[in-house]
Amino acid sequence: MESLVYEYQGGVPIESPRAPVIAGVVGSGNLEILVEAEGPDDRCTIVVVTAATGFGTIWQAVMNDFVARHKPGGVRLSINDVGATPAVVSLRLEQAWEAFKGGSA
Amino acid sequence: MNHSYYEASARERMAAFLDPGSFQEFLPPTDRVSSPHLRQLDQPGAFDDGILVGSGRLSGHAILAAAQEGVFMGGAVGEVHGAKLVGLLERALITRPEAVILLLETGGVRLHEANAGLVAVSEIMHAVLAVRTAGIPVIVLDGGQFGCFGGMGIVAALCDAVVMSEEGRLGLSGPEVIEASRGVEEFDSRDRALVWRTVGGKHRYMLGEATRLVEDSIPAFREAAIALLGTRPVFGLEDLEAEHARLRERLERFGDCRESIEIWTRLGIEDPQSLPLLETQAFLAQVGGKRA
């Protein structure tokens, strides 16, 4: 198992206080993502706990892509992963972000 | 939106089962009350330890409810997972809801947590009986991908009512466990048709272990649970002895049957071979009052 932390700056602050959301389930080839409003306005912290070790650079690429697309600010994403593929991770990130922006818990 | 109960996650089920927006979760994922054991075993945990518990409304009635997530470790009961369920049941003794409703999907004890999981399951049993003794019904819904087995199969049998879909399964030892311990001649766990006509919802309904059989949709489970809200626990020594007598009689009547189809034949069902293929409504019409 491996823990990874990614910090991004220069994000766009979220507009108003939003309820935390959770997307996905911790199961084989899947992951859960908890999105919470937290920290300085332009900061995005992503904490990953994954069953698969040694894939840090691939996680970094997927996260860079997500952050470049949405410019999340003032949020923390916490992830529990059981070997999801990059495509599944991207899909869950989109789901989680859409739910968070939509304000649905 | 897909309303299949079987396909939905625990969170999707809870949201669609209760009155819209009424669910108030206790110990939500943001509290991060998760398993201390899995991390020591170098395994990822879940922020809710695979179960959500809370209060909500069902057709306006105040209830407490729990939903197990089968995809996370087969819905297995670990120390924290079990404690959340016990806490919910004990809360019922204080807040006195109309019912406690358990959306179970579980293989039983989480073996990674061994004794802590076993203790948790025994505490759940104790708490279920305490809630029933207090006059509050405990109702189980069973229609998920992983069925309801092991110690939690016993818990389901301790409750006032069990609502199942054809897809649901209920038992003590699961098919793979029976095959592993008694051999493939005893039970072939890869024979899907055999598995479903032995532990599936239709046969559980025929034996009277499932109170109601519904189609695989969250609204159908919701409707059945609403209809069962008036259930009052019947729970005295006489009732227990009557139940034992009923089970003894059932064993005498069907104990020599090798297969569920033999039981259905003995129950006087016409064309028993056709039962597994029937849609829920057609099945209910065909079996009529001929349950064991």
Q: What average pLDDT does range B238-258 have in this prediction?
A: 94
Q: What average pLDDT does range B200-225 have in this prediction?
A: 97
Residue of B nearest to A38 (CA): B30
Distance of CA B148 to the CA centre of its chain: 5
DSSP-assigned states of every residue in B161-172: EEEEETT-BB-S
Backbone angles phi, psi at A2, to 5 degrees: -140, 140
Name chain A contacts of B43, Cβ cutoff 8 Å: 1, 51
Question: Which of the residues B18, B51, B72 would you substitute to probe the A interface, choosing the one with the greatest number of A C-beta atoms within 10 Å?
Answer: B72
Which tokens in the block code for residue B185? 């001649």
Q: How far apart are the first and last CA of chain B?
A: 37
Name chain A contacts of B20, Cβ cutoff 8 Å: none
Put simply, the answer to whether A34 touches B29 (Cβ < 8 Å) is: yes
Tell me how far CA of residue B200 lies from CA of B183, B192, B197, in angstroms.
21, 10, 6
pLDDT-above-70 percentage for chain B: 99
Listed by start position, the domains of chain A span 2-102
Alpha-carbon span B128 to B126, nearest angstrom: 6
Strand partners, A76: A36, A45
Alpha-carbon span B267 to B254, nearest angstrom: 10
Q: What average pLDDT does range B123-139 have in this prediction?
A: 97
Alpha-carbon span B105 to B142, nearest angstrom: 7
Q: What average pLDDT does range B44-68 have in this prediction?
A: 98
The CA-based angle A37-B30-B153, given to 5 degrees, is 150
Nearest-Cα distance to chain A for B56, in Å, is: 15
pLDDT at res. A103: 63
Residue of B nearest to A33 (CA): B47
Please count the structural domains in chain B. 1
Nearest-Cα distance to chain A for B130, in Å, is: 32
Let me know if residue B141 belongs to a domain. Answer: yes
Torsion of CA B193, B194, B196, B197, to 10 degrees: 110
Residue of A nearest to B74 (CA): A27
- Residues of A near B (Cβ–Cβ under 8 Å) read 1, 20, 22, 25-27, 30, 32, 34, 36, 49-51, 78, 80-82
pLDDT at res. B1: 46
Let me know if residue B162 belongs to a domain. Answer: yes
Residues spanned by the domain of B28: 10-170+210-233
**Which residue reads 């691939």 in tokens?**
A58
Confidence band of B216 (pLDDT split at 50, 70, 90) = very high
Let me know if residue B20 belongs to a domain. Answer: yes
Put simply, the answer to whether A25 touches B9 (Cβ < 8 Å) is: yes
Which CATH number do you get for residue B121?
3.90.226.10
Q: What average pLDDT does range B219-227 have in this prediction?
A: 98
CB-based contacts of B84: which residues, under 8 Å, 6+ apart? B26, B27, B33, B49, B51, B53, B66
pLDDT at res. B266: 96
Name chain B contacts of A103, Cβ cutoff 8 Å: none
Name chain B contacts of A89, Cβ cutoff 8 Å: none
Q: Domain A2-102, CATH 3.30.230 — does that match?
A: yes
Put simply, the answer to whether A26 touches B45 (Cβ < 8 Å) is: yes
Which tokens in the block code for residue B102? 């358990």
Let me know if residue B85 belongs to a domain. Answer: yes
pLDDT at res. A92: 97
User: For the segment A88-103, what is each residue's pLDDT rounded down to a tens digit?
Assistant: 999 999 999 999 998 6
Alpha-carbon span A105 to A48, nearest angstrom: 21
User: For the segment B276-291, what is each residue's pLDDT rounded down to a tens digit?
Assistant: 999 999 999 999 889 9
**Do β-strands A31-37 and A75-81 pair in parallel, antiparallel, or remain unpaired?**
antiparallel
What average pLDDT does the structure give for chain B?
95
User: For the segment B143-201, what is each residue's pLDDT rounded down to a tens digit?
Assistant: 999 999 999 999 999 999 999 999 999 999 999 999 999 999 999 999 999 999 999 99
pLDDT at res. B289: 86
Report the complex ipTM: 0.90
pLDDT at res. A105: 43
Q: What average pLDDT does range B123-137 have in this prediction?
A: 97
Nearest-CA neighbor of B10 among B65, B74, B70, B62?
A: B70
Confidence band of B66 (pLDDT split at 50, 70, 90) = very high
* Continuous segment of H or E residues that includes residue A73: strand A72-73
CB-based contacts of B97: which residues, under 8 Å, 6+ apart? B55, B61, B62, B63, B64, B136
> Please, how many CA atoms are within 13 Å of residue B145, restricted to the half-sphere of its CB?
13
Q: Would the pLDDT of A17 be above 80?
A: no
> Please, how many CA atoms are within 13 Å of residue A51, restricted to the half-sphere of its CB?
19
User: For the segment B82-113, what is each residue's pLDDT rounded down to a tens digit?
Assistant: 999 999 999 999 999 999 999 999 999 999 99
> Please, how many CA atoms are within 13 Å of residue B47, restricted to the half-sphere of its CB?
28
User: For the segment A33-80, what is each residue's pLDDT rounded down to a tens digit?
Assistant: 999 999 888 999 999 999 999 999 999 999 999 999 999 999 999 999
